[in-house]
A = this chain, B = another copy of it.
């Protein structure tokens, strides 16, 4: 393993229903540092698909930018995803949240026929081409499964999402809290987090486990 793995983390906004899931994002950052690594956060400089009032669950008439909102989790230390060059990093991590399925892709609306943001597709493919591991939490494995046809991932136990992953030509494995599915060919590690009915302690465990698995795959 690299002495202090440099990790690129992609965030999809800030908030479970329209952006990055905040606990998963925070615990991923924590897990990277706790496992001896460092991180740089990236997000696409694009408008959010929509803004959801997280109390009522209803769409508001606001407009927000994915990178500007993700900067709340990053405490201002964030770069546009267009500037992410995997040559500069040892690993790639993707926490979950609906933003992954609404801002980084349109998986929430098109399922297996989704489109993935070109910059997300590029960095995932570059990581694989360069032999650098990818960690994905919650719903993010579905995007990894779309880009890396044939990969084995987990999103936990949700049948519809698992079927969508299989329809994309990838493989889904059922898991429980904190469990990690590793695909040694593609060097991916995935864990369900809030795709299961989880506590925040489960999220920490999942983030720590998937990050440890990712770091172990670094050359």
Contacts and interface: CB of A to CB of B under 8 A. Distances in A.
Interface string A74-116: 1110100000000000000000000000000000000000000
Contacts of A68: 53-55
A155 to B, nearest CB: 18
A73 B19 CA distance: 11
A208 B21 CA distance: 22
Interface stretch (A28-36, A118-126, A161-169, A210-218): A28-36
State the copy count for this chain.
Answer: 2
Interface stretch (A135-143, A144-152, A173-181, A196-204): A196-204
Interface of A: 14-17, 19, 21-23, 26-27, 29-30, 33-34, 53-55, 57, 62, 67-68, 71-76, 78, 194, 199-201, 204
Given A199-B33, A201-B34, A54 B76 contact: yes
A114 B90 CA distance: 47
B71 A54 contact: yes
A65 to B, nearest CB: 9
Contact of A75 (B16, B71, B204): B16
13 contacts: A14-B15, A21-B75, A23-B30, A26-B200, A27-B30, A30-B200, A34-B201, A34-B204, A53-B68, A54-B71, A54-B72, A54-B75, A55-B71
Across chains A and B, which 6 residue pairs bring their CB atoms closest together, nearest first? A15-B72, A54-B71, A26-B26, A33-B201, A55-B71, A54-B72
A34 B68 CA distance: 31
Nearest to A204: B30
Given A27-B30, A34-B204, A62-B62, 5 more contacts: A14-B14, A14-B72, A22-B75, A26-B200, A53-B71
A79 B11 CA distance: 27
A140 to B, nearest CB: 17
Contact of A201 (B30, B53, B200): B30
Contacts of A34: 201, 204
